[in-house]
Amino acid sequence: MGKVQRSIIVVKIGGSTLGNHDTTMEDLVALQKEGRTLVVVHGGANIVSEWLSRMRISTRFENGLRVTDRQSLDVVAAVLCGLVNKELVIGIQSLGGRAIGLSGVDGGFIEARIKNAELGYVGEVVKVNPEPIEAILKGGYIPIIAPLGFGVKGEKAEKLNVNGDPAAGDIAAALEAERLIFLTDVPGILDSSGKLLPRLSADEASSLIGSGVVSGGMIPKVEACLRALSTVPITQIVDGREPHALLQAMAGKGDGTTIVLTGRME
Ligand code: ADP
Ligand code: MG
């Protein structure tokens, strides 16, 4: 009911893929041509930092979140929605794919609230309204999503800077996706000796956060997988630097870490 079709694949593209000439765009177009339904969420923190520095705006992070004042918010929005998002759309279109870029502000699709007043305009996702995404999917396009939400600051409706990882998890959950795949810059989740963990239950993944083995930028990815597992059967964290990482993950080949609910482990 209201759902376009099942088997939606949500792909979060992180810093590894952005700005590199890798094969992710090719894979997205190949999967689209096979008839797969894809949704892409991108990050772009490094590119935002580069522009802030070009504009001589100082920036700092607290627990992995960018402290976002008014001026930084405008740069975050301009860079993510204007530059990063459009490059991805053009990349897909130039390979013969169909894509439409949007942010969580558009169609009111990511509702957020201020996470912590000290972080400024940083939002956490409150609700994902899947209708705008489903409309784009129905048209046969890949939605390319810049992680901005809308919320209220003071009395005023505002755009808010949301982390792409939890946004991807919440979008996958709201769409009842078949799979959530994070493309990142490491082979997957590594144990304390740096060895790849190919398969984890939700409990195992969660205890890796507790023990500090999973830290920094890996924390929001694992948390997003754990949240998405309420409706999404398969979540994966794979190395976006590997050629055709996405096709390999879809084919059940390649490396990376798969996190599933315990009951679904074979
Ligand atoms: P992205 O741009 O894909 O969001 P991040 O840098 O935010 O990438 O997150 C990935 C990073 O998480 C890795 O480069 C690594 O430094 C860090 N990390 C922390 N703990 C782990 C772990 N246990 N296994 C793998 N990577 C980890
Ligand atoms: Mg990150």
The pLDDT of residue 265 is above 80: no
> Using an 8 Å Cβ cutoff, are 197 and 258 in contact?
no
Residue bearing the bigger pLDDT, 264 or 15: 15
The pLDDT of residue 121 is above 60: yes
Kindly report the average pLDDT of the chain as a whole number: 93
pTM here is: 0.95
State the pLDDT at residue 154. 82
> Using an 8 Å Cβ cutoff, are 128 and 107 in contact?
no
Mean pLDDT of 131-135: 97
> Using an 8 Å Cβ cutoff, are 44 and 196 in contact?
no
Mean pLDDT of 208-237: 96
Indicate the helix (H) or strand (E) that contains 100: strand 99-103
Mean pLDDT of 126-153: 96
pLDDT cut 70: percent of the chain above it? 95
What is the whole-number distance in angstroms between the Cα of residue 92 and the centre of ligand 1?
A: 26
CB-neighbour burial class of residue 204 (10 A; exposed 0-12, middle 13-18, buried 19+): middle
Q: pLDDT confidence of 22, banded at 50, 70, 90?
A: confident
What are 68-93's pLDDT values in tens digits? 999 999 999 999 999 999 999 999 99
State the pLDDT at residue 19. 63
The pLDDT of residue 1 is above 70: no
The pLDDT of residue 4 is above 90: no
Q: How far is CA 108 from the centre of its chain?
A: 18
Ligand 1 atom at minimal distance to the Cα of residue 183: 3
State the pLDDT at residue 24. 95
Q: For tokens 């924390």, what's the residue?
A: 219
What is the whole-number distance in angstroms between the Cα of residue 116 and the centre of ligand 1?
A: 23
The pLDDT of residue 59 is above 70: yes
Amino acid at 210: G
Residue bearing the bigger pLDDT, 122 or 254: 122
State the pLDDT at residue 20. 64
Amino acid at 60: R
From 42, 186, 219, give the residue whose CB has the most ligand 1 atoms within 8 Å, as the site to mutate. 186
Provide residues with CB under 6 Å of ligand 1. 14-16, 43, 184-186, 189-190, 213-218
Which two structure tokens, joined as six digits, stand for 32? 């689209």
State the pLDDT at residue 147. 97
Ligand nearest the Cα of residue 219 is 1
Q: Which residue CA neighbors atom 13 of ligand 1 most closely?
A: 186
Lowest mean pLDDT among 163-167, 186-190, 241-245: 241-245
Specify whether the backbone of 216 is left (phi greater than 0), alpha (psi in -120 to 50) or beta.
left
Mean pLDDT of 234-238: 97
Lowest mean pLDDT among 1-10, 90-99, 183-192: 1-10
The pLDDT of residue 194 is above 70: yes
Spatial CB neighbours of 192, under 8 Å, sequence gap ≥ 6:
213
Which two structure tokens, joined as six digits, stand for 42? 């991108």
State how far the Cα of 82 lies from the Cα of 75, in Å rounded to an integer.
10
Q: pLDDT confidence of 254, banded at 50, 70, 90?
A: confident
Residue bearing the bigger pLDDT, 155 or 24: 24
What is the whole-number distance in angstroms between the Cα of residue 137 and the centre of ligand 1?
A: 30
What is the whole-number distance in angstroms between the Cα of residue 202 and the centre of ligand 2?
A: 20
What are 38-54's pLDDT values in tens digits? 999 999 999 999 999 99
The pLDDT of residue 153 is above 90: no
The pLDDT of residue 6 is above 70: no
Strands 257-260 and 234-239: antiparallel
